[in-house]
Amino acid sequence: MNKAIVGKPDSIQKIATTAYWSSSLTLFAFFNTWSFCFSLFPLWLSQTLQLNGKDIGTIFGANALAALIIMPFYGVIQDRLGTQKQLLVLVGGLLVITGPFFELVYRPLLDRYFIVGVVVGAVYFALTFGAAVGTLEALIERVVRQHAVEFGKARLWGSLGWACASFVAGNLFNVNPELNFWLASLTGIGFLICLIWLPSPLIQVGPTISTKVTFTELIGVFSLPAFWRLSLYVMGVSCIYQIYEQQFPIYFASFFADIAQGNRFYGYLNSFQVFLEAGLMFLAPAIVNRIGAKNGLLLSGLVMVVRMAMSGLADGPILISLLKLLHALELPILLVAIFKYIVLHFDARLSATIYLVGFNVFMQVVTTALSSQVGELYDTFGFAEAYLLLAGVVATNLLISMWLLDEKPCLERLKSVSRSAD
């Protein structure tokens, strides 16, 4: 049901413009900070701390486990808060202390007390990035949807933020890797400023739909068959691809005779890839609107399979660089399609919980379970053979998802909308 929004047309347009730019710059600052910390994180673990593939996999697995535990709480709290920002202000405070944490806490602990360092880092990274990103994206999606702005157009600024940091990170890494972490603290301050700028929810008149989410409704999500069908796609396709991505920078740098040159070139290439990603983020809503949310998810999965399989067959820096750029096509379509799929098939009031649990939480489940084992595969068989194996697993799950995913709104969604309208 359409609703009239109180206010003059000019003032509504002004608020919508403010919503777009404040949302865009908030995402820009968050992903800028995240990129300074994590775009070269595997290289920092491998080259600076001299960790092997299994240890690096253990770190990624622990990070995923901590995010898995914290993420549902973030989702429930944000669903209760709606478009209020208290939770994300806390996240902003954690972003600001990134530099001191890496240099004064995390690295010394990994050097001297590895397991303690892994646990402490996992909790901090989950609170600051792993669990926070889904909460932020869900909040931004709500804000821009209220102001009739496509989420993809705001989200592209997140990609630009990542790209800008990646462009500088490669060179800074060869000078002193810790410089990137201190720059992350500065951009964290920018995130807090942009977050405060986000507009308040619009006031609506006419027949209204209750926006308060009850605990029973939250638990009821787990009884929906459509929720589990989406989750199986996430776990079998997106999650395996995420594990493939974890140590890809190490594999990429191995194609260069000079490791420092590989690090620097990866920073440039990652930046260029994310700039392409940002442009495609602008086009992704039109693509997904044309082919549908289900087909958008399947197309994204197909790109993942191609990149993973060809990475195992790559024989030089040119081909592996071109394959890296495929991520610029996959991610925008996946992000837009997953939100449209959720809105199409579920109660929109539960979008944060479904996105965090059905997408991010289950991604962390698989990452926690498999990261260390896949890292050991890299140590034992090499990256190329492991990538071919992972591509086969993802291709199989993608074929299953073609049958499992719903193309039209499910019965549960239609009943929910009908009850709300009444």
Q: What is the Cα–Cα distance from 226 to 316, expressed in whole angstroms?
A: 43
pLDDT at 82: 66
What pLDDT is attached to residue 135?
Answer: 82
Residue 303: per-residue pLDDT? 95
Instruction: Report the pLDDT value the prediction gives residue 208, as an integer from 0 to 100.
Output: 41
**Among the ranges given (68-77, 252-261, 263-272), the one the predictor scored with the smallest mean pLDDT:** 68-77
Residue 419: predicted pLDDT:
46
Burial class (CB in 10 A: 0-12, 13-18, 19+), 421: exposed
Q: How far apart are CA 137 and CA 130, in angstroms?
A: 12
Per-residue pLDDT tens digits for 120-151: 999 999 999 988 888 888 788 878 877 777 77
Specify the higher pLDDT residue, 77 or 1: 77
| pLDDT attached to residue 95 | 95
Residue 395 clears pLDDT 80, i.e. is over it: yes
The answer, yes or no, to whether residue 47 has pLDDT greater than 60, is yes
The model's confidence at residue 218, banded by pLDDT at 50, 70 and 90, is low
d(CA 93, CA 368): 26
pLDDT greater than 50 at residue 206: no
- With 0-12 / 13-18 / 19 or more C-beta atoms within 10 angstroms meaning exposed / middle / buried, residue 77 is middle
Nearest C-alpha neighbor of 298 from the set 348, 237, 249, 248: 237
Q: What domains can you pick out in the chain, each with its CATH number? A: 15-421 (1.20.1250.20)
Cα of 252 vs its chain's centroid, Å? 22
pLDDT interval class at 400 (50, 70, 90)? very high
- To the nearest whole number, what is the mean pLDDT of the chain? 83
Among 165-169, 299-303, 305-309, the minimum mean pLDDT is found in 165-169
- pLDDT score of 3: 44
Question: Which amino acid is residue 376, in one-letter code?
Answer: E
The pair of three-digit structure tokens given for residue 342, joined into one six-digit string: 């959720």
How large is the average pLDDT for residues 365-381?
87
Residue 207 burial class via C-beta count within 10 angstroms: exposed 0-12, middle 13-18, buried 19 and up: exposed
Please name the residues in contact with 227: beta carbons below 8 A apart, sequence gap of 6 or more.
221, 346, 354, 358
Phi, psi of 412 (to 5 degrees): -60, -40
Partner residues linked to 168 by β-bridges: none
- pLDDT, mean of residues 217-224: 72
> How many Cα atoms are found within 13 Å in the side-chain-facing hemisphere of 144?
22
The three-state DSSP-derived secondary structure of 60-105 is HHHHHHHHHHHHHHHHHHHHHHCCCCHHHHHHHHHHHCHHHHHHHH
3-class SS of residue 204: strand
pLDDT at 344: 83
Residue 118 pLDDT class (50, 70, 90 cuts):
very high
Give the Cβ contact number of residue 145 at 10 Å: 16
Average pLDDT over residues 204-210: 42
**Which of the residue ranges 34-38, 353-357, 394-398 would you say has the lowest mean pLDDT?**
353-357
- Round to whole Å and give the CA distance between 419 and 148: 24
103's tokens: 């240099």
Name the percent of the chain lying above pLDDT 70: 86
At 47, which amino acid appears? Q
Residue 114 has pLDDT above 50, yes or no: yes
Q: Which residues contact 223 (CB under 8 A, 6 or more apart)?
A: none
Cβ-proximal residues to 110 (8 Å cutoff; 6+ apart), any chain: 49, 51, 117, 118, 121
- The confidence score (pLDDT) of residue 169 equals 86
pLDDT value for 32: 93
Note the pTM of the prediction, 2 decimals. Answer: 0.71
- Residue-level pLDDT at 83: 61
pLDDT class of 107 with cuts at 50, 70, 90: very high
Residue 201 has what pLDDT? 54
Continuous segment of H or E residues that includes residue 211: none
- 361 or 177: which carries more pLDDT confidence? 177
User: What pLDDT sits at residue 87?
Assistant: 85
The pLDDT assigned to 307 comes to 95
Burial class (CB in 10 A: 0-12, 13-18, 19+), 422: exposed
Helix (H) / strand (E) containing 361: none
Q: What does the pLDDT read at residue 211?
A: 54
**18-33 pLDDT, tens digit each:** 778 888 899 999 999 9
The whole-number average pLDDT for the span 158-166 is: 86
Q: Which of 12-16, 329-333, 396-400 has the highest mean pLDDT?
A: 396-400
**Given this model, what pLDDT does residue 353 score?**
67
* pLDDT over 80 at 205, yes or no: no
pLDDT tens by residue, 342-368: 888 777 667 666 776 667 677 778 888
